[in-house]
């Protein structure tokens, strides 16, 4: 039996159920670009990037891709609730090259989000350090004492009544960075069950955050490779 179709009844009484049983999206992973060295794919909403710790939470993007691409590996992640474009290396050399680009902030990343309320400035920068909130893990928090630098550029795409559609360009890659920065801006992302207030949470059936563009230097050709993946909300 494919484990992703297992339920609690499939686990023996000696096994401990995970504190959170992750939903498993059955939406297919879309291949946006492929060559001998890498893939660009669209990760569906409600699919883990990598396996969870518990056997019932092992279904994920990379395990599904490895069925057809055994050498596929993970060089960056998107949260469970976030959909959008990801790059998947297909060999060690490509993985190392892409990893270095992410570490050196050479990768272009663009997201689209719909947030609560009307964002007044057309564009701006949010620069607030982020640290783990150990007492409320996996939540993060703004902390000027122990937090790591976190910078997000934003630009208004459209103001739509009681909400605003934003373009978000993270300049760093902290956990939950876009969610917590939007909250600190006073405009939490709609459908966010971690950082949004009840009104913003109730305004969408899912987290309205999507990775729309990714650009980097191709590890083999040296050419700039950039692909778009429009949001469907």
Residue 188's pLDDT is what?
Answer: 98
Predicted TM-score (pTM) of the model is 0.90
Active site residue 59: no
**Rounded to an integer, what distance in angstroms lies between the CA atom of residue 199 and that of residue 15?**
38
pLDDT for position 56: 84
Residue 73: the pLDDT is 98
Choose the catalytic residue: 10, 68, 79, 162: 79
> Where exactly are the structural domains of the chain?
22-228
pLDDT of amino acid 185:
98
| pLDDT confidence of residue 16 | 61
Q: Kindly give the parts of the chain with pLDDT less than 50.
A: 1-15
Topology at the third CATH level for domain 22-228: Pseudouridine synthase (3.30.2350)
pLDDT value at position 10? 32
pLDDT at position 18 is 64
Reported as a single tens digit per residue, the pLDDT across 169-182 is 999 999 999 999 99
């Amino acid at each position: 039996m494919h484990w992703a179709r297992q339920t609690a009844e499939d686990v023996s009484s000696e096994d401990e159920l995970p504190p959170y049983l992750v939903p498993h999206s059955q939406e297919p992973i879309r291949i946006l670009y492929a060559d001998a060295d890498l893939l660009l794919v669209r990760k569906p909403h409600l699919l883990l990037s990598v396996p969870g710790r518990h056997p019932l939470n092992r279904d994920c993007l990379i395990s599904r891709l490895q069925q057809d691409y055994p050498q596929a590996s993970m060089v960056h992640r998107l949260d469970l609730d976030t959909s959008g474009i990801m790059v998947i290396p297909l060999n060690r050399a490509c993985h190392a090259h892409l990893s270095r680009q992410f570490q050196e902030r050479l990768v272009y990343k663009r997201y689209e989000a719909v947030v609560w309320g009307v964002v007044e400035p057309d564009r701006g920068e949010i620069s607030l350090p982020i640290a783990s909130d150990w007492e409320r893990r996996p939540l993060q928090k703004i902390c000027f004492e122990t937090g790591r630098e976190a910078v997000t550029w934003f630009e208004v795409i459209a103001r739509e009544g009681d909400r605003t559609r934003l373009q978000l360009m993270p300049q760093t890659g902290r956990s939950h960075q876009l969610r917590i920065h939007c909250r600190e801006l006073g405009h939490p992302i709609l459908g966010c069950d971690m950082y949004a207030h009840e009104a913003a949470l109730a305004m969408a059936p899912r987290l309205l955050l999507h990775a729309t563009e990714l650009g980097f230097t191709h590890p083999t050709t040296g050419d700039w490779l950039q692909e778009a993946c429009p949001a469907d909300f």
